[in-house]
Structure 1
């Protein structure tokens, strides 16, 4: 393997890992604070991809589509928590699984009615459509670098929100002891809606950013959900920092596994999870 090839695969690993982190961080926030096992989280990623396709088609500009998608995702996330997820807090995990699985079916049916069942592509913005030379004549798409940079900025913003703001302090207090947080005057109902909107928004933005790299197709959220649950388990349930470390590990293992061990690439990340859980059964990092 040449150095240029190794560098390209490292860039791909970071991009994929940061994308997984954005989706998985929303999943681990919702479970860690609200206690809900949300099987529909992968469908939120798919909604983002279809937002990118639809809004880009309407506006002709992916950047405008991203701005509109952020606003829509936060509003839809807030409404979803209010009309649907707010009824799940007192239910056991089996009921949560069944109800969120029902939401998957609803989202898929709405997607089929509104957009259809065809496979779609989202054009890369002209300003980001070029490539840069890495070495030995190898080219790397500028848009992939943009996705990596956007994911890193969003991850830094999430860290700042959780660790450096009063909202983040309330989120951490609610994750640690929701009854104590409520007794101290924190509005748990509003906190849950903010957290769910944040988790929904992260999944949607991830889907929008990655849509031009891949295709937009029915059921695309299912595979993302499985991988994100692996990231959450490896990192430690409820730990955003753990999700970051786990997502990068999974990104590197999956990317290099497909290049070095094609027949067993799909098995590599499950072996990674098994080894880490044998070493640390609760995941890499504690909740927080």
Structure 2
């Protein structure tokens, strides 16, 4: 039971990080129609920025805040200087973001080196707690709470606010939204910044959970793509459900079926595509 509880907590914490990553990816694709293959690179870059800021300030949460803001600003720069010039050219956008991934990865290696770095959880979450007589680390529980809180907040913003209605309108039909007077380009830019900011926040706050290395970007981008495919494009609820499923399958698979751990998440994705091509909570193309 101790092993099962520990693995459950760690898996759900990883699922929260996957949600922060994939929700931003889905948001960007839905509004800006950009398949941002540099999403994982921004996640990792923000984690390293947070590591540096934490060392300078001595405060982990200030490091997270600074890394999130830096990630959002870098997202705006990437959109304005690069991707905005490629609207309507999907293949060029994919190649541009793929190239940006290599640039960011090399910048990380040049600034922080290629060695794996570990980050200690902040006090008072740097030690274990007792749950039902069993000992579990406390920081993964913090990540679970953060993931649920961000999910609830995003759902409220998208469903209950004017900004959320505008984002949903641009996602549904960009041309019609522009005809109705919505500032489509500004909404796309701010959504891109928010999506990258979510990934940056996930990278910074998740650094004590996942060891940092420049090669982590490709793994996280792959996970984001799998989560979005399973959950369904444009569905925050689908992204949350899929992130938790992928994390649980990956986490328990690594313990009980280590030989098939990497294959299991792809098998899950293939199964979902076979049963529901639009994803668990996605909509079929052409549906209202």
Q: TM-score, normalised by structure 1?
A: 0.93
1:57 corresponds to which residue? Answer: 55
Cα shift at 1:74? 2.2
Cα shift at 1:135? 4.8
2:110 corresponds to which residue? Answer: 113
- Structure 1 contact 17–251 (Cα < 8 Å) conserved: yes
* Equivalent in 277, 281, 286 of residue 281 of structure 1: 277
Cα shift at 1:27? 0.7
1:264 corresponds to which residue? Answer: 260
Cα shift at 1:208? 0.7
1:166 corresponds to which residue? Answer: 162
* Equivalent in 38, 41, 58 of residue 40 of structure 1: 38
**CA deviation string 1:164-199 (max 9, x = no partner):** 111110000000011111111110111011110011
For 1:117-128, list aligned pairs within 5 A: 117-128=114-125
* Equivalent in 180, 199, 205 of residue 203 of structure 1: 199
- Structure 2 contact 232–278 (Cα < 8 Å) conserved: yes
Cα shift at 1:282? 1.4
For 1:1-288, list aligned pairs within 5 A: 2=1, 4-91=2-89, 93-135=90-132, 138-286=134-282
Q: Secondary structure at the match of 2:129?
A: strand
Give unpaired runs (5+ residues) of structure 2: none
Cα shift at 1:239? 2.0
Give the alignment's Cα RMSD to 1 decimal.
Answer: 1.6
- Structure 2 contact 47–67 (Cα < 8 Å) conserved: no
Q: TM-score, normalised by structure 2?
A: 0.93
- Structure 2 contact 151–236 (Cα < 8 Å) conserved: no
Cα shift at 1:217? 1.2
- Structure 1 contact 52–208 (Cα < 8 Å) conserved: yes
Cα shift at 1:240? 1.9
How many residue pairs are counted as aligned between the two chains? 284
Cα shift at 1:150? 1.5
Q: Secondary structure at the match of 2:124?
A: helix
